Amino acid sequence: MSNKVHLGHTARKRFGQNFLTDSNIINRIVAAISPDNEHVMVEIGPGLAALTEPVAEGIDRLTVIELDRDLVERLKHHPVLKDKLEIHQGDALQFDFNKLLQPGKKLKVFGNLPYNISTPLMFHLFSFAEHIANMHFMLQKEVVLRLSAAPGSKAYGRLTVMAQYYCQVVPVLEVPPQSFTPPPKVDSAVVRLIPYEQKPWQCHDVHLLESITATAFNMRRKTLRNNLKQLFSDEDFATLNIDPGMRPEQISVSQYVALANHLYQKQQ
């Protein structure tokens, strides 16, 4: 059966459209999201409403952001959902999530994300982290492994450090390709990201953390000394008690924060 006949919509590759069709997986994701009226519930990429319908069922209002105009039209006329949805047609990467804030309410954001934009989208959302209670995302399994990696592992990288700087990261469940129509070429997994109310570290300027991690992980096989020589001397590393002979994946998030704060002090 073609996707079109099966779904009543032809999946668009350029929009990363792989629609969830496995009701067991859908139920488990909705249980993990735990929809409520105490938060502003926000879905990115509702598509054909596989998650939208069961999430909206138990709550008064659900905000959705969808890029595909055809899918937006369908949602606008959806017999059950149309009165509950606040629909924003557009690119979630450009969306100002502050627009959705209501007094005393944080956002709960979720979505089966288009994999081609999932990393920049998470970076975009981290900039609103103080207003977000939690996020649940379906991602490539490999990305979930990177988000939750420990120092010293192969998956540990810039995304790990930035995600764990802002959030507690909890892998929730793995999802095989057959749970989607059309099936993606990769394995998938759902992750819960919980932004810290009180971060275990304080970074004076997060842009410095972003640029240090980008530079440090640019060449993973090289040492910190080599990768960061424009920014830090051996003396700087000694002050922070960090061995400059280590590789970028061998130091912790708090050590990256210490490097960023040290650079901040030097620049004052």
> In the complex, which residues of this chain contact ligand SAM (CB under 6 A)?
15-20, 44-48, 50-51, 65-68, 71, 91-93, 112, 114, 117
Instruction: CB nearer to ligand SAM: give 47 or 157.
Output: 47
Please indicate if the annotation marks 101 as binding a ligand: no
Residue 37 beta carbon to ligand SAM: minimum distance, rounded to whole angstroms:
21
Residue 97 beta carbon to ligand SAM: minimum distance, rounded to whole angstroms:
12
Instruction: CB nearer to ligand SAM: give 7 or 167.
Output: 7
Instruction: CB nearer to ligand SAM: give 44 or 208.
Output: 44
Please indicate if the annotation marks 27 as binding a ligand: no
Q: Answer yes or no: are the C-beta atoms of 89 and 67 closer than 8 Å.
A: yes
Please indicate if the annotation marks 37 as binding a ligand: no
Instruction: CB nearer to ligand SAM: give 29 or 253.
Output: 29
Residue 188 beta carbon to ligand SAM: minimum distance, rounded to whole angstroms:
9
Instruction: CB nearer to ligand SAM: give 66 or 249.
Output: 66
Please indicate if the annotation marks 20 as binding a ligand: yes
Residue 107 beta carbon to ligand SAM: minimum distance, rounded to whole angstroms:
16
Please indicate if the annotation marks 261 as binding a ligand: no
Please indicate if the annotation marks 112 as binding a ligand: yes
Q: Answer yes or no: are the C-beta atoms of 32 and 8 closer than 8 Å.
A: no
Residue 247 beta carbon to ligand SAM: minimum distance, rounded to whole angstroms:
34
Known binding positions for S-adenosyl-L-methionine: 18, 20, 45, 66, 91, 112
Known binding positions: 18, 20, 45, 66, 91, 112
